[in-house]
Amino acid sequence: MTQRIAILSGRGGTGKSLLTCGIGEALADLGKTVLLVDGSQGLRSLELYMGIQEGILYSVPDLSAGKCSVADVLVQDEARTNLWLLPASQNLPTDQNLKENYGKALTIIQDGGEDVPAFDFILTDCGGSLESQLTLASLSDRPVLVVTPDPAGLRAADKLRKLTGKEPEMIINRFDSRDLARHILPSFHELQDILPLSPLGIFEENDGLRQAVLTGGDIAREMPEFNNTAERILGQNVPFPLMPEQVDREAPSGMPQVPESSGKRESFWNRIFSRGK
């Protein structure tokens, strides 16, 4: 049976597209047949992360309107033959008929037929506004929040958690162990208190990843955490190599350290969640 996963964060620039691409590639490397859906109607980009340069002739609304077949619209990845892309329209306004377009297109694809791969996973990179992302997530079985450990990112995740309907899982992205060492970043247990969501992956801020995006490199192979996350999605119990508690909490020399008991940590949470008000 196909499992539909939606990757969302409610905000822009948190790493949704990069993570969708890398996790999709890793699931494909584990032998799964995977469809990546570009949910950024009006401003598609997922093909750039996948390194697909040509072959996009149709997009989601063409399929839902019956203007093309599934075989016409899907684009096969060049490196992995069991990985496919469903491109977003480049022209439609972001929110126009979003639910109808994507809902119908996904139903047509899942109904299958000749020349239609039987997908194990459909991963949607939810783009656009918070509302658009929630609309696309409502078409999934399994919403996954991309959480960046900064005040705005945590607040967005807390809000989305209450709005997605189904209990989401989370991926922490752009984690920087230096902030943890300085006691600026909440520890993983503190984070779990406030955002009690199952983690699927923890990705560090990583220059190799950034460069892979710029040069069209292979994203999944940049970090073993992509494979780990894919295995956790498949239900395997994979330990987190980067569980923040395990990171040395000694500040690197020259960096000021905010003590554990400092009022600054309390105010970190108060600022984000207006606790005690």
Long-range contacts of 234-239 (CB under 8 A, 24+ apart): 234/27, 234/30, 234/32
Strand ranges for the chain from DSSP E: 3-8, 34-39, 75-76, 83-86, 121-126, 142-147, 169-175, 199-204
User: Where does this chain touch ligand ATP (CB under 6 A) — which range of 11-19, 151-159, 193-201, 230-238?
Assistant: 11-19
- Tell me the β-bridge partners of 84: 35, 76
Q: What is the dihedral of CA 17, 18, 21, 25, to 10 degrees?
A: -170
Question: Site for ligand ATP (CB under 6 A): which residue of 23, 25, 35, 40?
Answer: 40
Residue placing its CB nearer to ligand ATP in the complex, 63 or 171: 171
16 is a site residue for ligand ATP (CB under 6 A)? yes
Subset of 97-126 contacting ligand ATP (CB under 6 A): none
89 is a site residue for ligand ATP (CB under 6 A)? no
Longest distance between any two alpha carbons in the chain, whole Å? 63
Pull the structure tokens for residue 198: 């199952």
Question: Site for ligand ATP (CB under 6 A): which residue of 5, 14, 137, 147?
Answer: 14
CA 25, CA 186: separation in Å to the nearest integer?
31
Asked if residue 81 lies in contact with residue 126, where contact means CB atoms within 8 angstroms, the answer is: no
User: Where does this chain touch ligand ATP (CB under 6 A) — which range of 13-21, 57-65, 115-123, 262-270?
Assistant: 13-21
Residue placing its CB nearer to ligand ATP in the complex, 174 or 232: 174
Nearest alpha carbon to residue 93 among 46, 52, 142, 131:
131
Q: Which does 174 bind (CB under 5 to 8 A by kind): ligand ATP, Mg ion, none?
A: ligand ATP
Residue placing its CB nearer to Mg ion in the complex, 20 or 164: 20
Contact track, ligand ATP, 213-252, x by CB under 6 A: x---------------------------------------
CA 202, CA 255: separation in Å to the nearest integer?
24
Residue placing its CB nearer to ligand ATP in the complex, 13 or 256: 13
Eight-class DSSP state of 188:
H
12 is a site residue for ligand ATP (CB under 6 A)? yes
Q: Which does 209 bind (CB under 5 to 8 A by kind): ligand ATP, Mg ion, none?
A: ligand ATP
Chain residues in the site for ligand ATP (CB under 6 A): 9, 12-18, 40, 127, 173-174, 203, 205-206, 209-210, 213
